[in-house]
Amino acid sequence: FKDLWEQRINSVKSDVTATRDLLDQVNRNVENLLDRIMAASSPSVIAAYEGRIQTLERERAVLEEKLASDRSPVVTFDTAFG
């Protein structure tokens, strides 16, 4: 039972790390698109970039919400049952 407990703790930590990595990637993508908007001269291209940024902003909000909900303290097996 203790091994399963530790596996679950490690799984949660891994999920949080993966979510943070995705959030970093989304932030980089938004920054890249903003740079492209600044260099673009075509209104249709700018509109396409803005649409993609809106999609990424929604994705960022979901990831931030997931991180906020995953911030519960991790209790070790020994703390819980020791």
One pLDDT digit (tens) per residue for the chain, 82 residues: 778 888 888 888 888 999 999 999 999 999 999 999 999 999 999 999 999 999 999 999 999 999 988 656 567 777 777 6
CA distance 53 to 10: 33
DSSP state of 75: P
- The whole-number pLDDT of residue 79 equals 78
Total-model pTM: 0.78
Given this model, what pLDDT does residue 80 score? 74
Encoded tokens for 46? 């700018």
Write b or e for each residue in 52-67: b if 16 or more Cβ atoms lie within 10 A of its Cβ, otherwise e. Answer: ebeebeebbeebeeee
